[in-house]
């Protein structure tokens, strides 16, 4: 993996997670008395190295008040979905959960603090799960997605599942959607055969990034 990639004045530090395929990206921020400027995505392959680049099919945003938790969401594989996620306003604890059966880090969690001042971006491969907890009002999370959202393909693992063990407030103190509040446990999904397979997820992710 390349680190400290710089091109045309736009720099990105790329750091690997212990979860295969997950990367933490810290873009260079240009500050002055007006505020700051940063780039979160570029079609230039030297700026967005292959570890994190993919063809973008959809850009989405969510806005949440403090205490709102969303997730743990994953996309049925195939098609699967790669994501770039960052916080445009407010602040959040962001979680990546390895849901890929057969992965050496299956069930493990990567937690990242996201806010606009640092500008950190999380790059997620096909097959992993994603969740976040808004820690400030008017928290805006921006997503770049490799596939168009199809409701029938979007699944949810219970965010308060003790077998996953996300460091969250008690379930009764979280603000959840009806779907997330009724989500099944990780064990249920594993027993049902509904989780992504690691080898297939890696294959699909490699195809996706080679097309980028």
Active-site residue numbers?
Answer: 73, 143
Q: Which residues contact 78 (CB under 8 A, 6 or more apart)?
A: 200, 204
Q: Which residues contact 191 (CB under 8 A, 6 or more apart)?
A: none
DSSP 57: -
- Distance, CA of 52 to CA of 5 (rounded, Å): 12
Q: What's the order of all strands across the beta sheet hosting 92-97? A: 109-114, 92-97, 129-134, 69-75, 154-156
Question: Going along the chain, which residue ranges are E strands?
Answer: 5-7, 10-16, 23-27, 30-32, 35-37, 58-64, 69-75, 83-89, 92-97, 109-114, 121-124, 129-134, 139-145, 154-156
Q: Tokens standing for 95?
A: 């979680």
DSSP 153: G
Q: Tokens standing for 200?
A: 């297939």
């Amino acid at each position: 993996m390349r680190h400290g990639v710089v091109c045309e004045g736009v720099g990105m530090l790329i750091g690997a997670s212990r979860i295969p395929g997950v990367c933490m990206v810290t873009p260079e921020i240009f500050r002055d008395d007006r505020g700051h400027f940063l780039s979160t995505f570029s079609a230039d392959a030297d700026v967005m190295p292959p570890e994190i680049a993919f063809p973008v099919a959809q850009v989405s945003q969510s806005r949440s008040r403090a205490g709102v938790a969303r997730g743990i969401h994953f996309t049925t594989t195939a098609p699967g979905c790669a994501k770039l996620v960052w916080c445009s306003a407010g602040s959040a604890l962001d979680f990546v959960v390895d849901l890929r059966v057969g992965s050496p880090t299956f069930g493990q969690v990567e937690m990242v603090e996201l806010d606009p001042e640092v500008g950190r971006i999380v790059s997620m491969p096909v097959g992993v799960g994603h969740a976040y907890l808004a820690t400030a009002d008017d928290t805006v999370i921006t997503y770049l997605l490799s596939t168009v959202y199809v409701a029938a393909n979007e699944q949810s693992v219970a965010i308060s599942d003790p077998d996953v063990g996300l460091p969250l407030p008690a379930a009764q103190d979280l603000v959840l959607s009806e779907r997330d509040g009724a989500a099944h446990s990780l064990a249920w999904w594993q027993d049902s055969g509904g989780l992504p397979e690691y080898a297939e997820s890696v294959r699909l992710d490699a195809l996706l990034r080679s097309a980028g």
